[in-house]
Amino acid sequence: MVDIQQPVRQTGSTARCLHDMFAEHAAATPAAPAVTHDGRTLSYAELHERALRLAAHLRGRGVGPDVVVGLHVERSADMLVGMLGILEAGGAYLPLRTDDPAARVAGILTDAGVATVITSAATHERLADFADARVRVDAEYPLAAEDDPAGLRPTPENLAYVIYTSGTTGAPKGVAVPHRAAARIVRTGVYADFGPQETFLQICPLSFDAHVLEVWGSLANGGRLVLHPDTPVSAESVMEAVHAHDVTALWLTPTVFNQVVDEGLFEGCGLRQVIVGGEVVSTPHLSQAMRTTDIRFSNGYGPTEAGVFTCCRVFQASDLVHSPPPVGAPLPGTEVWVVDAEGRQLPDGELGELYIGGDALARGYHGRPDLTEKSFVPHPFGGAPGARVYKSGDLARVLPGGLIQVIGRIDSQVKIRGNRVELTEVESALLQAPEVKQVAVVDRQQGAERVLAAYIVPVEGTAPTVAELRGRLARRLPDYMIPSELFRLDRIPLTSNGKADRGELRDSANGTRLDLGVDFRPAATDVEAMLSEIWAEVLKTRAVGVDDNYFDLGGTSLSIKRVHQRIQQELGIRLSLVSMFEYPTVRLLADAIANSEV
């Protein structure tokens, strides 16, 4: 049993600002390669100079410590210039997904009270409603006469970034993270090695906090950062980049990790270390990877509210007796407890909610003291005056030896493709449709990945369709939050306390699939017939019309890769994976193939 006054903890913390760590390497090794993207490499000195010029311009606009600045730039060297420039000015960057609906981006910027937003040539016009706030990252700015104005340098307690996550109220909420919490995860020797000898691959959107590991694990330690092309990420595209750029270190969600393992892509790839996180890890896949490669595999667990990673571990063979494997021990300066519903610490082995304290904690939810007060509570176990802990909502236990095992969520929050999703936010968006009376959304396993399924009770006399509802959601939500499956029910099943019984919905085959909302048109050519047959087999449906949208049929970014492989094999052609997303119906794809547009 863990003593109730003694959390599972690691001691020791040396707080630094992220951009100051980068600047030290820019001064010490200015010619060293900092970032490679699209065939071009910038040195530490070149990247630093561009950031300083942007920072001087931002200071002139009033950016300083704790001032939040939007960052709406595609994955590119310009994206890094924007991040560093904001931090050098003293501000905190707010990353925005460039593929999100315009209304969602505008809502986040408005909620955050942003007065300045960094854009690029590709994104500038998308934010026309924020004309006076826009600053082009690729403009030419002069260097300031004074690089370090007095009083404008942030401290480790100032904000480094604000990341908006899915919210239980139906609107996203911003997690405000100080340098102190972020910098603790990029120190070498605990679960990963950082330094000039390492080349990291950057694959996740900046709106996903694992980017802190990728970007700052590299740039704050003198390493080289390779940016994945700004195209959909797949196991194949990641490993192609690994081979092309001699990548040595990589972060993957378990979903992509499982794909790489299943396809044997780790063998002979040259990687030295792979960190897995964002979802529960599959013990069978981890076992196979450890058995068949010499790569060092590590786990990184933690919510955005606790500085990306709370607990980490270099996986050992002994971990494979557990399913899922343990996430490890807390990082230095971080504390964790497993507690019951009344907040009392539980003995080892018993399941409860994971509480997190120490240097890992975010400041709270940006501009939302009400939400902050609910989740960041006063330290219940004799901490220093004013100390707080974060109620993670994760179900966990302490294993023998003090290792933490995280089982899943105790509430309605799930992980889809590594992204955190509040099921109630998706439900709230669906309820905006006039045809929807009631709705419950669940996550469920579909093959090798988790997807969202929506169960809808329609308004009497209406017949909502998949095309209508998914199209409506696409204007409000990012793609990973849009349900792959939509069913019609007469009523939503309830638990004994009157809540939607998500467990029954996850396990049940009840419900009638909604109509697609598209007239069925059979194949008219041999190519259309072959494509329709492949889609039907992969999606396990009887027939596919040439105008049916692949994703409206329940297709996902994982299953479409199987379709992609089948098409290449059976047609004997070279087909880009991106084309599968660009031409999502049989008719469009067949025409593109016939016209050699893929």
Q: Which domains does the chain have, with CATH numbers?
A: 413-513 (3.30.300.30), 526-594 (1.10.1200.10)
Predicted pLDDT of residue 12: 44
Partners of 389 in the beta sheet? Answer: 357, 377
Give how far Cα 445 sits from Cα of 53, 367, 417, 421, Å.
48, 36, 12, 15
Predicted pLDDT of residue 9: 52
Per-residue pLDDT of the chain (598 residues; tens, 9 = 90+): 233 234 555 544 467 899 999 999 999 999 999 999 999 999 999 999 999 999 999 999 999 999 999 999 999 999 999 999 999 999 999 999 999 999 999 999 999 999 999 999 999 999 999 999 999 999 999 987 665 555 578 999 999 999 998 866 667 899 999 999 999 999 988 899 999 999 999 999 999 999 999 999 999 999 999 999 988 888 899 999 999 999 999 999 888 898 899 889 999 999 999 999 988 888 888 999 999 999 999 999 999 999 999 999 999 999 999 988 999 999 999 999 999 989 999 999 999 999 999 999 999 999 999 999 999 999 988 778 889 999 999 999 999 889 999 988 887 778 888 888 888 889 888 988 999 988 989 998 887 788 999 999 999 999 999 999 999 999 989 989 999 999 999 988 877 666 788 888 988 767 899 999 999 999 999 999 999 999 999 998 888 999 999 999 999 888 898 999 999 999 899 898 889 999 999 999 999 999 887 7
> How does DSSP classify residue 63?
-
Q: Select from 154, 50, 52, 173 the least CA-distant residue to 107.
A: 173
Helix (H, G, I), strand (E, B) or coil at 324: coil
Predicted pLDDT of residue 4: 29
C-alpha 467/C-alpha 41 separation (Å) is 43
Decide: residue 15, CB within 10 A, 0-12 exposed, 13-18 middle, 19+ buried. Answer: middle
- For 274, residues 6+ apart whose C-beta sits below 8 A from its C-beta are 249, 250, 251, 252, 257, 266, 289, 295, 296, 297, 298
Q: How many CB atoms lie within 10 A of CB 313?
A: 20
At residue 278's C-alpha, the angle toward residues 272 and 281, to 5°, is 70
DSSP H helices in 199-302: 211, 217-219, 235-245, 254-262, 283-292
C-alpha 141/C-alpha 135 separation (Å) is 11
> What is the pTM (predicted TM-score) of this model?
0.85
